[in-house]
Amino acid sequence: MTAYSDYEPVIGLEVHVQLLTHTKLFCGCSTSFGDPPNTHTCPVCLGLPGALPVLNAEALRMAVRASLALGCTIAEKSIFARKNYFYPDLPKGYQISQYDAPLAEHGALDVEIDGYTRRANIRRIHIEEDAGKSVHGAAGSSIVDLNRAGTPLIEIVGDPDLRSPAEAAEYLKRLRETLIYLGANDGNLEQGSFRCDANVSVRKRGATALGTRTELKNITSFKFVADAIDGEIHRQIRVIERGERVRMETRGYNADKRETFSMRDKENDAGYRYFPEPDLPPLLVSQEYTSNVRADLPELPAQKRARYASELGLTPYAAGVLTAHPAVAAFFEATLALAGDPVKTSNFIQAEVLRDVRTTGLTADLPVTAAQVADLLRLAADGTISGKQAKEVYTLMAGTQQMPADIVRERNMAVLRDEAAIVALAEKILAANPKQVAAYLAGKTALLGFFVGQLMKETKGSASPDIVNSVLVRLLQHPS
C-alpha cells in the first residue's frame, strides 16, 4: 500500500506557457521582462475603445510547433473567444482566449519514473493572452503592472491521467524540457513564464468515478508542485474520512506550512460567459502550413536520450544528464564530433565540465569550448598526459582560451615514459623503505599501492602508471 492507504490520487495539470516572442499577442508592445512598470503598453493591450487586435504570426508558429511536438492534431479552423472576468490587472475586463474550438487537441507526453512509463494524455492546447500583474505591498497597498498584459501564452490542458505527486513533477520537467528545445519557452518558473495549475482529487482504489477536484494555483517550482499535491491529497483524504464532502474550490499553497489553503470557490465555464471574439476572424491553419512547421521540428530530448543509449552506448542516466538542456546536448555532440569516443567524452563532460555550467533559460554558460575538451581527451588517450593530469589541465584552461597542448608544453606536464628514469626512482624508493619491501615479500602484496603512490609523488604524478606498475613489480620480484 502507498502512503495514501485505500485512496488513489487523480491529477491533471494545466500549464500556462509564455511564448518567447519579442512582441505581444495582439499588438507590437515588447514582451521584455523586468522593465519599469507600465512601460510596454498601448491602446490595444490597455483595452482602450476602438483599438483592434492583430494576431502575432510568430506566436502562432510557436504554438503550432509546440502542439506538434506534443503529438497534437492541429485544427484547420479554431476560434478566439472572450473569457469575461473582472480583476484589477485585466484592463479590458475580458481575456482573449480559445474555448470550444482550440488550436490543437489529442496529444500525449510519456513520463518515465521508478522504472515504469505513464502516458499522460493532453486534451487540448489553446492560444490566449496573459493578464497583467498585481503587486501587493505593505499595509495592504497594491499596484498594477500591465507590461505583461497581452503577452502570448499557450495553455496545455492535460487529462487526469497522473497518479502521484512525483509523476506530476516529472511531467512538468519533461514538458518544460521539450518547450525549451523548441525555443518556444525559457522554462522560468520564478518569473512566471512557465506556470502550473494542478487539478487534484482522490477516490477509493478500484473506483472508476472521479472524485470532487480542487485546483491548486500559482505553484512556482517542481518541488512545490509535488509537495502541494501531496498535501492536498492528504487533506482530501482527511475530509472524506471525517464523513464530509470535498468542496470544488481554488486553493493556494503555503510552502512554509507545507499545506494548501482556500482561495475562492471554483469558477465554472458558465461564469466566464464565453462568446466568440468579434474583433478577430476564425483562425485558419492550412495543412501545408502545419507540414512546413512539422518539417522544421528539432530532435526532441526524448528522441536524443533514446539515440544516445542505442547508438552511442551511453547509460540511460548519462543520456538523461546530457539532454537536460539543449545547449549541453549541443556541446556534447560538438565535442564528440572532434573526440570520437562517446563514453569517454560523456564521462569527462559529466565529471568535469558540468560542474561549472550555469544555465539560464535557453542559454548555458560553458567554461570551455568543444575544441578544448576534445584536445584534452586526445592528449589523455594517446598517453601524453595521465588521467589525473587531464583534470589538472582542465582546471588550468577553464575560463581561458588556452588549448590543453599549450598548457602541457608550457608547464612540462607530459607523462614521464623514460623507463630507465623510472627504474632509478623505483630503486631509490625501495631502498628507503626496507620494512615495506620485506612485508611485501612476506605476502602483503597490497603494499604495491604504497610504492606506486611514493613514486607518483616523486614525479608529481607525471610518470606513466603502466610503466610504474610493471617496473615496481619486476624489482620487487627480483630485489637486489
Q: Over the stretch 57-113, which tens digit does the pLDDT of each residue have?
A: 999 999 999 999 999 999 999 999 999 998 889 999 999 999 999 999 999 999 998
For range 139-165, the mean pLDDT: 93
Longest dimension (CA), the chain: 103
For range 360-364, the mean pLDDT: 87
Query: Which sequence spans correspond to the domains of the chain?
Result: 7-292, 299-410, 419-477
The pair phi, psi for residue 154, each rounded to 5°, is -120, 145
- The confidence score (pLDDT) of residue 480 equals 58
In this predicted structure, which of 16-25, 294-303, 340-349, 428-437 has the lowest mean pLDDT? 428-437
Question: Is 4 buried (19+), middle (13-18) or exposed (0-12) by CB count in 10 A?
Answer: middle
Query: In terms of pLDDT, which residue wins out, 191 or 166?
Result: 166
Is residue 20 scored above 90 in pLDDT?
yes
- The confidence score (pLDDT) of residue 268 equals 66
* Residue 266: DSSP 8-state: P
Q: Which three cell numbers stand for residue 246?
A: 470535498
Kind of pairing between the strands at 116-129 and 77-78: unpaired
Determine the Cα angle at 234 with ends 232 and 238, to 5°.
Answer: 115
Q: Average model confidence (pLDDT) for the chain? A: 92
Taking the C-alpha atoms of residue 162 and residue 285, their distance in angstroms, rounded to an integer, is: 31
**Predicted confidence (pLDDT) per residue in 106-136, tens digit:** 999 999 988 899 999 999 999 999 999 988 8
**Predicted confidence (pLDDT) per residue in 390-433, tens digit:** 999 999 999 999 999 999 888 877 766 778 888 888 889 999 99
Q: Are 455 and 461 in contact (CB under 8 A)?
A: no
Taking the C-alpha atoms of residue 24 and residue 54, their distance in angstroms, rounded to an integer, is: 10
Confidence of residue 479 (pLDDT cuts 50, 70, 90): low
For range 212-225, the mean pLDDT: 87
Determine the Cα angle at 195 with ends 190 and 196, to 5°.
Answer: 125
Q: Which three cell numbers stand for residue 331?
A: 556541446
In this predicted structure, which of 1-15, 204-218, 287-301 has the lowest mean pLDDT? 1-15
At 302 the three-state DSSP class reads helix
Q: Are 79 and 278 in contact (CB under 8 A)?
A: no
Specify the CATH architecture of the domain 419-477: Orthogonal Bundle (1.10)
- The confidence score (pLDDT) of residue 60 equals 98
Taking the C-alpha atoms of residue 389 and residue 402, their distance in angstroms, rounded to an integer, is: 16
Determine the Cα angle at 461 with ends 460 and 463, to 5°.
Answer: 110
Q: Are 150 and 130 in contact (CB under 8 A)?
A: yes
Instruction: Give strand ranges (E) for 159-314.
Output: 194-204, 214-219, 249-254, 259-265, 275-276, 283-284
